[in-house]
Amino acid sequence: MDWSILLLYIIGGALVAFWLLWRYKNRRMIQMANKLPGPPTLPLLGNALVFMNRPEEILNKLGELMETYGDIFRFWLGPELNIVVKNPTDVRVLLSSTKVNQKGPVYDFLLPFIGGGIISGGPTWRLHRKIAIPTFSKKAVENFFPVFNKECEELAKVISQKGPATFDCYVDVLRSTTQSVNQTVMGLSKEDSVNLTRLEEFIFKTHDMYNLIFDQMTKWWLHVPPIYWLLGKKKQQDYYLKMIDDLTEDIVRRRKKALQVSEPSEECMGGVDRLILSGELTHKEIKEETVTLFTSSQEVAAKVAAGVLMFLAHLPDWQDKVYKEIIEVVGADGPVTNEQLKQLEHLDMVYKETLRYFPIGGMIQRTVMEDISIRDESITLPAGTSLVIPIHNLHRDPRYWEDPNKVMPERFLPENVKKRDPNAFVPFGLGPMDCLGRVYGTALIKTVVVWVLRYAKLEPAISLDNIRLNIAISVTSYDGYNIKASPRNGRINGLS
């Protein structure tokens, strides 16, 4: 017999034996999974071939499966059982449970970049989150407003002088939110903030880094190390890791040096300082959480703020409503306060519609640590299952959102909110692993919008019907956040 044929028999036999052994060990999970609807599976692969799509098509594929199998269905990625749950009531029950408070296996692909901490989960996430929480409290955010106001006014001056040409406002907004985050969450001085190693390179490469991570999450062949290396992905990863290391080393070094001289007051202390002073983290862990706090603050805030500005540019009636409200509540000049932001109801509606349309997380995954039942115990998710919550699809479910693909801030008028299941809108997640920076981010984003609208009149660049979505962890505008701007009410060179 030909040795090559014999080798194929041996490999095939080993795979069959592995598959049969796995099925025997996991027979209970398989039996429980078979009670749920879902696409037919292949041996060893499960439903992996179903998801062999471009990253931007993954959520569309999930949507197609939901139309076929309903709000709860299962699919297998190799030996990993995933159960998708979209019903709002079930989502709240599951995400609020202590039985589902560990991140799912897809977050393992974040580990080389940010370690096993606050976002990616792991044994230390509770402790690290507890240390960082005071930086994002309402009291702390109140003390950050002087920085917010200063940086956002500078941004408003820049945008108001753009002229008639179309531009991507995300670029300018990102630079502004980066400076705000550096001088608050990172605890840096303005001088240190503008001189950080590889800062400019990092903030504009983060999106490409997330694309790489999402590719690895969604393309099974990239899980094979030789293929990952041959396709040049390992080289890209090493580049990003070096860039992260250089930036975070500089931030932590500067803060450790500053803390030897004096400590900031408790109410104004940044997250990096808290991590350092706690004495609970190694130098490596501090750097990992530094990049976590950095990117989850400045980049996320910039995406959402740019989305709000783009929607206001394309919805002139809403821009007028928001602007008039700003003048009535805040005034044409002077600093913005958090109390004033809370009174801007029209701005809040546009902000929420932006979060619905461009969710911070397109989908989230959790590991079921213990069996958990829903719907009067008629459905049980077995321990070891990966729970998938398709936030993007939930936010566009026509049962809760009329014309879900249209931008309509009026969805969030009080009378419309009352008609809708409150759990159909979960932009910050739920439960113990919800978004840490929701108060901070909301304040910074709204401050950006107030200052920009006081200085600039925004105009559309394209039709909102032509927005293409990009899925790479969060949902963003594929073609950027393009608008036009001109000085408002005779403001010239940033002066009234």
The annotation status of 435 as a binding-site residue, yes or no, is yes
**Cα–Cα distance, 172 to 306 (Å, whole number):** 9
Q: Which residue has the tokens 């009234």?
A: 496
Beta bridge partners of 477: 469
Give residues with Cβ within 8 angstroms of 200, minimum separation 6.
Answer: none
Cα–Cα–Cα angle for 58, 470, 237, rounded to 5 degrees: 85
DSSP labels, 143-179 = HHHHHHHHHHHHHHHHHHT--SS-EEHHHHHHHHHHH
Can you spell out the DSSP letters for 248-277?
A: HHHHHHHHHHHHHH----GGG--HHHHHHH
Distances 166 to 103, 105, 215, 267 between C-alpha atoms, Å: 40, 41, 31, 41
Backbone angles phi, psi at 104, to 5 degrees: -80, 175
Contact call for residues 454 and 333 (beta carbons, < 8 A)? yes
280: three-class secondary structure by DSSP: coil
Instruction: Give the count of beta carbons closer than 10 Å to the beta carbon of residue 130.
Output: 13
Residues 6+ positions from 72 with CB-CB distance below 8 Å = 36, 37, 83, 84, 85, 86, 87, 90, 379
Strand order in the sheet with 482-487: 167-168, 482-487, 456-460
Closest by CA position to 233, among listed 215, 207, 206:
215
Output the DSSP codes for 323-353.
Answer: HHHHHHHT-SSS---HHHHHT-HHHHHHHHH
- Annotation: binding site for heme: 435
- Annotation: binding site: 435
